[in-house]
């Protein structure tokens, strides 16, 4: 996907000088153009921020979906008994820890970090993580947390796209207004020149 800030021209914006004309009408219009350029620049910054936000939400939605599938596989393979365990997947653990995805403990309903939920230190090594045995009840709680994070990120991405459309529409409107003002200055200059020259 293209850099939205580059697409809307944030690097090429230049606010015109408002005192470059001796005609009062031109000065007022030029001042309005300067305001419009500032609004255009802010819209370009907003679009870059929103692009980064949408991209971050997309990444979260993608990895949580993959991690949830990994947990489903662990659950499907852990059928010996209700209390049998399998090794915790270190990739899933690290993803959840890095992105602050909390788990609702089925024993009491408290919300916990993945490290607290599994009784591990925050800086646990992969060897320590995979040494932890998790039951299907615990795995289901982890899967639910991942699905919840996935849904939230997907919704955030959708809302971000709607906001991005509004920002780009605002940018287009500002551009049209600048073009209109510049045409007004041109027409005014032409009229003044015509009046002077008779």
The predicted-structure confidence for 44-57, as pLDDT tens digits, reads as follows 889 999 999 999 99
With pLDDT > 90 as the criterion, what percentage of the chain qualifies? Answer: 56
Buried b / exposed e over 112-134, threshold 16 CB at 10 Å, is: bebbebbebeeebeeeebeebeb
Output 24 or 70, whichever has higher pLDDT. Answer: 70
> Per-residue pLDDT for 11 more than 50?
no
d(CA 2, CA 55): 12
Confidence grade of residue 193 (pLDDT, cut at 50, 70, 90): confident
Residue 103 pairs in a beta bridge with 112
Over residues 131-149, the pLDDT tens digits come to 999 999 999 999 999 999 9
**Owning domain of residue 153:** 28-197
Confidence grade of residue 36 (pLDDT, cut at 50, 70, 90): confident
CB–CB of 132/167 below 8 Å?
A: no
Output 154 or 174, whichever has higher pLDDT. Answer: 154
d(CA 12, CA 190): 28
Residue 87 pairs in a beta bridge with 133
To 5 degrees, how large is the angle CA 162–CA 164–CA 165? 65
Which pLDDT value is given to residue 120? 97
Residue 111 pairs in a beta bridge with 104
Return the top range by mean pLDDT from 18-27, 108-117, 165-174.
Answer: 108-117
Contact residues for 77 (Cβ-Cβ < 8 A; gap 6+): 86
Q: For residue 182, is it within any domain?
A: yes
Confidence grade of residue 186 (pLDDT, cut at 50, 70, 90): confident
Confidence grade of residue 25 (pLDDT, cut at 50, 70, 90): low
Tell me the pLDDT of the chain averaged across its residues: 85
Number of separate domains in the chain? 1
Q: For residue 160, is it within any domain?
A: yes
Q: For residue 12, is it within any domain?
A: no
Place of tokens 């032409």: 190
Q: For residue 23, is it within any domain?
A: no
Confidence grade of residue 188 (pLDDT, cut at 50, 70, 90): confident
Enter the tokens of residue 7: 């697409």
> Per-residue pLDDT for 24 more than 70?
no
Q: For residue 190, is it within any domain?
A: yes
- Give the helix/strand (H/E) hosting 133: strand 133-134
d(CA 156, CA 42): 22
Q: For residue 117, is it within any domain?
A: yes
d(CA 103, CA 118): 10
Q: Where are the alpha helices (DSSP H) in 78-135?
A: 90-98, 114-118, 126-130
Q: For residue 66, is it within any domain?
A: yes
Q: For residue 21, is it within any domain?
A: no
Which pLDDT value is given to residue 37? 82
């Amino acid at each position: 996907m293209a850099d939205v800030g580059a697409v809307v021209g944030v690097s090429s914006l230049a606010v015109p000088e408002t005192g470059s004309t001796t005609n009062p009408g031109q000065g007022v219009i030029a001042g309005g153009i300067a305001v419009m350029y500032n609004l255009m620049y802010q819209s370009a910054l907003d679009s870059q921020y929103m692009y980064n936000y949408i991209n971050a939400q997309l990444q979260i939605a993608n990895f949580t979906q993959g991690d949830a599938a990994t947990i489903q596989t662990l659950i499907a393979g852990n059928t010996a008994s209700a209390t049998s365990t399998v090794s915790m997947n270190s990739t899933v653990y690290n993803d959840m820890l890095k992105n602050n995805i909390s788990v609702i403990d089925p024993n009491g309903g408290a919300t916990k970090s993945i490290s607290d939920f599994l009784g591990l230190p925050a800086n646990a090594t992969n060897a320590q993580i995979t040494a932890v045995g998790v039951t299907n009840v615990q795995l289901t709680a982890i899967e639910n947390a991942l699905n919840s994070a996935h849904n939230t990120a997907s919704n955030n991405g959708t809302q971000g796209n709607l906001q991005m459309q509004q920002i780009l529409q605002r940018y287009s409107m500002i551009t049209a207004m600048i073009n209109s003002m510049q045409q007004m200055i041109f027409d005014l200059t032409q009229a003044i020149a015509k009046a002077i020259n008779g």
